Amino acid sequence: MNYTEKLQHVSVLGAAGKMGSGILLLTAIEMTDLSLQPENKGKKFVLNAIDLSFEALQGLIEYVKVQALKAAEKKTVQLRKWYADRSDLIENGDIIQAYVEDVIRMIRPVTDMKAAYDSYLVFEAVNENKALKVKLFTDIDAHNPHQPWFLTNTSSVPIHEIDEEAKLNGRIMGVHFYNPPAIQRLVELIAANNTLAEVKEFATQFAKNLRKVIVHSNDYAGFIGNGHFMRDALHGIQQAEELMKTYSFTQAIYMVNKVSQDYLVRPMGIFQLIDYVGIDVVQFIMQVMNPHLPDENLHSELLDKLMASGVKGGQHADGSQKDGFFVYERGRIAKVYDLNSASYHAVDAIAAEADAALGQFPQGGIAWKTILRDPNKDQKLQDWFHSFKLMNDLGAKLALKYGKRSCEIGQKLVDDNVALAVEDVNTVMMTGFFHAYGPINDFFAS
């Protein structure tokens, strides 16, 4: 069965979720594009959008309509070729609308898992719960006569464990999209030792057709992305806890967040990133990874306490940020959570004293947005971080320590054979996390 035939009957599990909706959209567009090619005219394509709630699935369809319209507007020349035999479609607007209708027509919203029993290919985008994934895959595989292939969007669960427990005999591949899948360019591809060669080939071709940046990771819990992020987050938490011996809880959180953003030239500070992903999600991923790390303890009591206090972060259905370490107003930090008083404090009441404690901000500051495409980026970053070594201020010391730890984490992923090469670690962090530079560098060398 070739690439196109595999995509003629597909199911997406968790299709209405944050990740599933993007995966469904990308799959629907790829399947529609295939169906419009002359050699595939007349072939039947089916895409089951499977989730628990019809209401959520209705919202999914509206999302797909909007995004399919945007996709169509970018390829009107190609659409004119595909719809050349439609004499009723003259104006670009008519062709675009026809394409959107074809994309929507491809999708079958269902709440019954049995819809996947006829699929050749199953994408899974449920939560990071191995037992749930195994249960779903085992059920589908037991009732599906086609020996389907399973592509799991897990960001942390080892693929070989799912394969072994669901008895899939290599018919599974990790295809880790980054959030949101429709926009993020990165995809991590993870094969288990016995993943079938044809499954690897399909997953690679699929990601290429979506014009994604592909990085292959070996099958270790957390892979490259979370392998770095979870340890990086834990370092930030530990830095804040150390500062709490001298400064208040809110000051320590503010200071480390500022250092990890402004000093390290990142798009957001570490506690903002944890909020964005979700404190509950970060805690859960650490729990998934920790049993696989005999020489480490990837656990944070601080996150446990925040969860016990009901502070979870994450995002609302409309994409707005929930309260976590911070309260956000118009995308900016407005308040900082104090675990000791279980209340939020205005950031303006914290910033002045915390900034003074960090000391002088290095001169000639570099802004993340402007450095990304600067042709002299590497030299400017080299000079920027070198200036920290000439300072005795707390902020500069924290930044140097943080940068060195980030580099150590990245290098360990290579040394432990999680990543195939240094370039893969740097690509994941620069593409998937939008860092301006890779963590493995010589900027922080003594």
Domains and CATH numbers, the chain: 3-217 (3.40.50.720), 226-432 (1.10.1040.10)
DSSP string, 168-191: -TT-EEEEEEPSSTTT--EEEEE-
Distance CA 175, CA 20 (A): 12
The answer to whether 238 touches 230, Cβ cutoff 8 Å, is no
Q: What is the pLDDT of residue 112?
A: 95
Q: Encode pLDDT of 331-367 as tens digits.
A: 899 999 999 999 999 999 999 999 999 999 988 789 9
Structure tokens that stand for 241 in this block: 């806890």
Given this model, what pLDDT does residue 117 score?
Answer: 98
Check residue 90 and give its pLDDT.
87
- Count Cβ atoms below 10 Å from residue 421 Cβ, excluding itself: 12
Has residue 47 got a pLDDT over 90? yes
- pLDDT, position 215: 98
Mean pLDDT across the stretch 234-240?
98
| Strands of the sheet with 343-346, listed across from one edge | 326-329, 332-338, 343-346
162, pLDDT greater than 90: yes
* Dihedral sign for Cα atoms in the order 249, 251, 252, 253: positive
Tell me, what's the pLDDT at 362?
87
Q: What is the pLDDT of residues 88-104, one digit of tens each?
A: 988 999 999 999 999 99
Q: Using the predicted structure, report yes or no on whether residue 1 has a pLDDT greater than 90.
A: no
pLDDT at 442 over 90: yes
Burial class (CB in 10 A: 0-12, 13-18, 19+), 372: middle
Question: In angstroms, rounded to a whole number, what is the distance separating the alpha carbons of residues 141 and 71?
Answer: 34
Q: What is the H or E stretch that residue 332 is in?
A: strand 332-338
CB 44 within 8 A of CB 118: no
- Burial bucket for residue 373 (CB in 10 Å: 0-12, 13-18, 19+): exposed
How far apart, in whole angstroms, are the C-alpha atoms of residue 347 and residue 50?
Answer: 43
pLDDT at position 365, please? 84
pLDDT in tens, 395-423: 999 999 999 999 999 999 999 999 999 99
| Beta-bridge mates of residue 397 | none
The pLDDT, as a whole number, for residue 363 is 83
* Confidence class for position 318, pLDDT limits 50, 70, 90: confident
> In angstroms, rounded to a whole number, what is the distance separating the alpha carbons of residues 64 and 49?
11
Mean pLDDT over all residues of the chain?
Answer: 96
pLDDT in tens, 169-226: 999 999 999 999 999 999 999 999 999 999 999 999 999 999 999 999 999 999 999 9
Tens of pLDDT, residue by residue over 107-133, are: 999 999 999 999 999 999 998 999 999
